[in-house]
Structure 1
Amino acid sequence: MAQVQPTSNQSVGTWPAILTIVLFFLSNIAVIFPLRLPVPFSISRAIRHALVSARVLPENPDEPQAAKRTYLHFNFITVPLISVLILLAAGVFDAGTLRDGIVGTGGVRPLNIMGLFISLAYISISLDATGLFRFLAFWVASRGGSSGRRLFTYLYVFFLLCGVIVGNDPVVLLGTPFLAYFTRVAGITPPTAWIFSQFAAANMASVVLVSANLTNLVLSEAFSLSFLAYAAHVVLPFLAAAVCVFPVLLFGLFRSPTLVPRRIDIGLDPNEVRATLVDRKGAIFGSALLVATLGVLVGVSTIGVPVWTVTVPPAVIMLLRDTYYDWSRRHLRTHPRSPTPSESPSPTIASGDIPLENVVSQKTAASLELREVHAPGTAPHDRIHGPPRTPSPHAAQSPRARKATPPPPRRGPALVPRLQAVHARVTATFPTVTYVAARLPVALLPFAFLMFILVQGLAAQGWVQVFARWWEAWVRRTGTLGAIGGMGFLSCMLCNFCGTNIGATILLARVLQVWIASGSSTENPQTHDGAIYALAVGSNFGAPTLTFSASLAGLLWRQILLQKGIQVRNSQFLIVNLPISFVAMLAASVVLVGQVYVEHPR
């Protein structure tokens, strides 16, 4: 395990320490309650005028004086960034704090973690572009027959398996639109039972593999856990939680026939199910690549190979495959032909996996070229070939007027329209690549790095050492049961108040590192292992607890549901998820207690 030296016994009553923890909590509050403040029209117009003058934005003489209101957003990225900048300007943070927060210290290597995370995310989303997950979901649904409860069970197990393999974010990203469509077609209103069971299954299953959740990656790096050892310690608690939560869902929370009908007629025939798989070869290739990558990760995790070196090359291979797939089919999109009776339209477009608006028609592309390629000083109508136009009498009679007021010099197009035209051409040529790139969880990267930096600042100011002393006092009083139960409860609750489960995991991992470095945990290996794996379980199971912001998957889940016309209130999220998380955490903790006693008998 990576060794961390306890921080110095400096006082946390100094103004730098107080400012650090205040800004840390403000950054976390911004995740739960994001704000937006309107920008005064005078300022927004001045900024727009400056951008127009700099040829960044195009001129728009038809725009009304009362321009559209613009806002400053204070959210999970901007507020942590402002906090870090304030601490830098005040001299609280130095270059060493920034370096440790980005490069890593104490066994936590953010760059390594982010490389693995974004690589696996690309492979997973690329598999979605092939239609694989939609095909599997419809295939599972067709196996359920007309029994609503059987279908509910099949989908619950299906989302558990998917969550184990690809993690909670891809399951939320891919499964939520499917459920919205499926429940609408099946006439299930409201879809509460199906969407909440999916969300619970995805977040419980993401605890199994290190690669399935960013929080697992943080823990494996912080405590030098091999992928195999990590999975061996959490798979039984996961199974216990999944088994115990299912009757709570089906026979407790969602026992009403309105929520889970006794009979469902979805009317899917085999041809319709097969049609959802738009790229069969790509699905087979991507699945084999993902399985091989996960297998290599498990194999090399015991010999200290940086995980990014295992996951980045397969992601690049998948990117190259997607690029070739799009390039080889560009003529089918730019030169469409009428299909014969035995043919069907291009599945990539017809299936809806690649949004139709992303494919630019040949006519649109040609019009873009006509607007941009004309010679300077040439009016648009001069590009149209035809007979010369006869000058009007008014034009012949007033040559001096034209000389006195010459037309303004024609300038080239602004930067933004140029970029938009380039983006349209790239999207038309490579629809799959742009589809995947647009759905990558890139916003997680700056957020995670900023949280790493802020937590490193808390450690530098002595706060982590204070928390570690509190934790040590708790464990000395309560023993192994208190270590597992206390860390499980803390991690679940702090997911809601510490910048999602990512921020909670980073902070609590630092606390445990200091506690372990002090030598207190070596006296009882049961409390040592119990606390670490209780944090692993709680950081995943904490996503469905009190607030959407307990995880970025929760924020993504709510956003997708709103796009599909399904609204989940904050109170409903809490009321439904609280018993789910309580039962899941209780079952997992009981099994975890038994595990550590069997593994480390006294």
Structure 2
Amino acid sequence: MQQDYPLDVYSWVALSLFLLVIFFVVFPISIPIPFSKRFPVIPFIHSSRSQPIKIPFNLATTPFYAIIILLACRCIEFKVVVDGFVGSEGIQPYSIMILFYSLAYICVSLDLTGFVEFCAYWFSNKSGKNGKKLFTYFYILFNLMSAFTSNDVVVLTGTMYYTRLANIKPPTAFLISEFMAANIASMTLYIGNPTNVIVAQAYNISFIKYSAWMLGPTIVSIVVAYIFLRIVFRNPKFIPQNVDPPKRDPKSVLRDKNGAIFGIFLLVCCLVTLMATSFTSIRVWVVTLPFAVVSLLRDFVHDLLEKKKTDNEQKNKSEDKEVEKFESKKDTVIENVEGKRDTVESNKDTIVENVESNKDVVIENVESKKDTSIDVESKLKNKVELSDSKLDHQNSTTLTVLAIENISKSSQNLESSSGQEQVIVIDKGYSDFRKEETGSSCESLEIEIQEDPENVSESRCFSFKHTFPTIYMVFMRMPRSLLPFSFGMFILVEVLSSLGWISLFAKAFSTLTPSFIPAVFVTAVISIILCNLLNNLPMTVLLTRILQHPNFANADHVNESVMTGCLFALVIGSNVGQNPEGYEIAGWILAIFKMEPWGNAGGFLERVPRADI
């Protein structure tokens, strides 16, 4: 049970830092460090000497700066930080983040298969050239997608379709309807938005009970919003009578048909399991996390198989090119060998002639020596003469044999030399070929590096991107900065609670909600306003802690109906008012299309630059 804590200096320091964090979240800046160009290159921190190191004050970093300052000033204890991470009063920030990112991975992975584009083209083809039908069909499509997948997927896909593919100028009405559908339909299911989970966890609301309470208000809101849109954008300038949308076979945009079927099946199984386990005490994140792991493993196997297939195709192509180049080199080598062979044959004939002529000279020398030996032998005994004559005969025979062997050796040497030349020619051709192949591969590698210079500094990231492109793209499209921001704001809300601010806010909130109708109205308005200042996640945590505090929950006028009305008004406000990037979207629409004010709608858009309408 929460207690009342008196305000002190530390309380005001914490509140000042909290407001400062909100300022930098709305207006992020980066402060360069002087002389940081001289620092060595550090990946992810200082990637180039040409630019100084900058300290970012933005969505992801500013809350942690404030927490570090509070710890350094001894304003809070480390236990407060732990409580902000682990949770208290039934709210578990880590489980909310696991649930959110598990579902986000499944939905983004499904989107990368081309399923959402398939649906967009299918609805576009069904509408024909009727602008009003196209507007209505897409409004229905985006409501269904936002209810069962993710409003981030709706905004990303719809914005790309309207601004790049559809021939609708200006697409203002279609974009505004997309934003409204994305924010309203996310109230339908328990898992449609992390803020729904926060409220449901804090008050132990099951999946079925939540859907039963919110299904009716969501449908009514969708219908009312559609009527409002048709009235505001009644000018044919915004919803033209005839349009010329791109005609394309929806099946042609399915990049991974099997992956789309698998993703839909996995998402349906996840929703059915959530409904089945809503009657038990199993945490929602325990249900959704295994499905996200299965989706991750499927993408992992798919990327490995695709890479293996691509490598085999490239290997076969390179082998074919190598064979073609080797065949061309082979013809040249054969011509060179034939020429060398003719030279060897002519040299062989010359050598044989030289040996034959030398043979005659040798024989004449032997005969002269024989005559000389006969003169000497006449003075010797007959026995010695006989042995000498045999010896001379053997010498002449030996010389003849040696001459013939020299002819054979000379021929063999020439042939071996020609063989060496042949090997040299082949090796030279192959080395030239390898040199050409290496050069071409280096050029292709340089092209790839130039296409994505951010990943060149990190070879591991570069390799991961090309080995697992699906997983890489899913993680790149997921809201990564939301994780540190959410945890930081959870901790800061816990800090405000520990320093007495939550009890004070609970007293003020109790005064503003004397009965059921004012309670619902005040809660919805305050939550929508705070959504555009704090972001919907920390706003929901803050108001939930206020509603849980005894100063509000135990007030005399707060009964069960008032509490229930405040809870679901908080859910509606957190969904309708959510907008982490609405300022940029609204400003982009006004700047690109130079939208002129048209009655009330023009002034309405100008007054809410930070809201998703």
AA in 1 matched with 2:151 = N
Shift of 1:205: 0.8
Q: In 2, Cα distance between the equivalents of 1:83 and 1:26?
A: 9
Shift of 1:173: 2.6
* 1:54-65 superposed matches below 5 A: none
AA in 1 matched with 2:530 = L
Tell me the equivalent position of 1:302. 279
SS in 2 for 1:212: coil
Tell me the equivalent position of 1:7. 3
AA in 1 matched with 2:261 = I
Tell me the equivalent position of 1:505. 540
Q: Name the CA shift for 1:535/1:417 in 2 (closer, same or farther; >3 Å).
A: closer
SS in 1 for 2:31: strand
Q: Is the CA contact 2:180–2:612 (under 8 Å) kept in the aligned structure 1? A: no
Q: Name the CA shift for 1:515/1:172 in 2 (closer, same or farther; >3 Å).
A: farther
SS in 1 for 2:30: strand
**1:451 equivalent in alignment to 2:431:** no
**1:34 equivalent in alignment to 2:34:** no
Tell me the equivalent position of 1:228. 208
SS in 2 for 1:37: strand
Shift of 1:194: 1.1
AA in 2 matched with 1:256 = N
Deviations 1:273-319 (A, max 9, x none): 21011111111111110111112112213322122211111111111
Shift of 1:195: 1.1
TM-score, length-normalised on structure 2?
0.72
Q: Is the CA contact 1:172–1:553 (under 8 Å) kept in the aligned structure 2? A: no
Q: Is the CA contact 1:521–1:527 (under 8 Å) kept in the aligned structure 2? A: no
Q: In 1, Cα distance between the equivalents of 2:246 and 2:51?
A: 46
Q: Name the CA shift for 1:557/1:435 in 2 (closer, same or farther; >3 Å).
A: farther
Q: Name the CA shift for 1:583/1:113 in 2 (closer, same or farther; >3 Å).
A: closer
Deviations 1:429-450 (A, max 9, x none): 2211111121121211111111
Q: Is the CA contact 2:96–2:285 (under 8 Å) kept in the aligned structure 1? A: yes
AA in 2 matched with 1:491 = S
Q: In 1, Cα distance between the equivalents of 2:493 and 2:551?
A: 18
**1:437 equivalent in alignment to 2:469:** no
Larger gyration radius, structure 1 or structure 2: 2
AA in 2 matched with 1:575 = F
Shift of 1:178: 2.1
Moved more, 23-32 or 571-580: 571-580
Q: Is the CA contact 2:45–2:53 (under 8 Å) kept in the aligned structure 1? A: no
AA in 2 matched with 1:301 = S
**1:196 equivalent in alignment to 2:176:** yes
Tell me the equivalent position of 1:286. 263
* 1:321-340 superposed matches below 5 A: 321-334=298-311, 336=313
Q: 2:221 aligns with which of 234, 241, 244?
A: 241
Shift of 1:455: 0.4
Q: Is the CA contact 1:542–1:581 (under 8 Å) kept in the aligned structure 2? A: no
Shift of 1:68: 3.3
Which has a greater percent of helix?
Answer: 2
Q: 1:156 aligns with which of 139, 145, 157?
A: 139
Q: Is the CA contact 1:169–1:553 (under 8 Å) kept in the aligned structure 2? A: no
* 1:349-498 superposed matches below 5 A: 367=442, 420-476=458-514, 479-497=515-533
SS in 1 for 2:247: coil
AA in 2 matched with 1:489 = V
Q: 1:143 aligns with which of 116, 126, 138?
A: 126
Q: In 2, Cα distance between the equivalents of 1:121 and 1:568?
A: 34
Shift of 1:525: 1.5
Q: Is the CA contact 2:456–2:462 (under 8 Å) kept in the aligned structure 1? A: no
Q: 1:520 aligns with which of 555, 559, 563?
A: 555
Q: In 1, Cα distance between the equivalents of 2:246 and 2:267?
A: 32
AA in 2 matched with 1:554 = G
TM-score, length-normalised on structure 1?
0.73
Q: In 2, Cα distance between the equivalents of 1:583 and 1:85?
A: 33
Q: Name the CA shift for 1:304/1:11 in 2 (closer, same or farther; >3 Å).
A: same
Q: Is the CA contact 1:168–1:553 (under 8 Å) kept in the aligned structure 2? A: no
Q: In 2, Cα distance between the equivalents of 1:36 and 1:582?
A: 24
* 1:167-178 superposed matches below 5 A: 167-178=150-161
Shift of 1:487: 0.4
**1:576 equivalent in alignment to 2:605:** yes
Shift of 1:367: 3.5
AA in 1 matched with 2:605 = V
Moved more, 119-128 or 209-218: 209-218
Shift of 1:174: 2.7
Shift of 1:232: 1.3
Q: Is the CA contact 1:244–1:583 (under 8 Å) kept in the aligned structure 2? A: no
Shift of 1:224: 1.4
Tell me the equivalent position of 1:258. 237
Q: In 2, Cα distance between the equivalents of 1:221 and 1:177?
A: 35
Count of equivalent residues = 481
SS in 2 for 1:329: helix
Give 5+ residue unaligned stretches, structure 1.
Answer: 340-361, 372-415, 544-550, 585-602
Tell me the equivalent position of 1:552. 580
SS in 2 for 1:73: strand
Q: Is the CA contact 1:100–1:453 (under 8 Å) kept in the aligned structure 2? A: yes
AA in 1 matched with 2:478 = L
Tell me the equivalent position of 1:46. 38
AA in 1 matched with 2:66 = S
Shift of 1:365: 11
AA in 2 matched with 1:20 = A
Q: Is the CA contact 1:241–1:583 (under 8 Å) kept in the aligned structure 2? A: no
Deviations 1:17-61 (A, max 9, x none): 001111111111212111223333x2x223236x59xx9989x9x
Q: 1:97 aligns with which of 74, 80, 86?
A: 80
Q: Name the CA shift for 1:521/1:449 in 2 (closer, same or farther; >3 Å).
A: farther
Deviations 1:151-199 (A, max 9, x none): 001001110111111132221233221222233xx1x222211111101
- Greater relative contact order (Cα < 8 A, sep 6+): 1
Q: Name the CA shift for 1:558/1:444 in 2 (closer, same or farther; >3 Å).
A: farther
AA in 1 matched with 2:576 = F
Tell me the equivalent position of 2:69. 86
Shift of 1:251: 2.3
Q: Name the CA shift for 1:322/1:329 in 2 (closer, same or farther; >3 Å).
A: same
Q: Is the CA contact 1:248–1:580 (under 8 Å) kept in the aligned structure 2? A: no
AA in 1 matched with 2:133 = R
User: RMSD value over aligned CA atoms?
Assistant: 3.4
Shift of 1:98: 0.8
Q: Is the CA contact 1:122–1:440 (under 8 Å) kept in the aligned structure 2? A: yes
Q: Is the CA contact 1:163–1:171 (under 8 Å) kept in the aligned structure 2? A: yes
Shift of 1:500: 1.0
Q: Name the CA shift for 1:234/1:370 in 2 (closer, same or farther; >3 Å).
A: closer
Q: Name the CA shift for 1:39/1:280 in 2 (closer, same or farther; >3 Å).
A: same
Q: In 2, Cα distance between the equivalents of 1:164 and 1:449?
A: 25
Q: In 2, Cα distance between the equivalents of 1:232 and 1:370?
A: 57
Q: In 2, Cα distance between the equivalents of 1:318 and 1:541?
A: 30
Deviations 1:85-121 (A, max 9, x none): 1111111121210111000000000111111111100
Shift of 1:489: 0.8
Tell me the equivalent position of 2:402. none
Q: In 2, Cα distance between the equivalents of 1:171 and 1:98?
A: 35
Q: 2:197 aligns with which of 217, 220, 242?
A: 217
AA in 2 matched with 1:229 = K
Q: In 1, Cα distance between the equivalents of 2:444 and 2:314?
A: 23
Tell me the equivalent position of 2:410. none
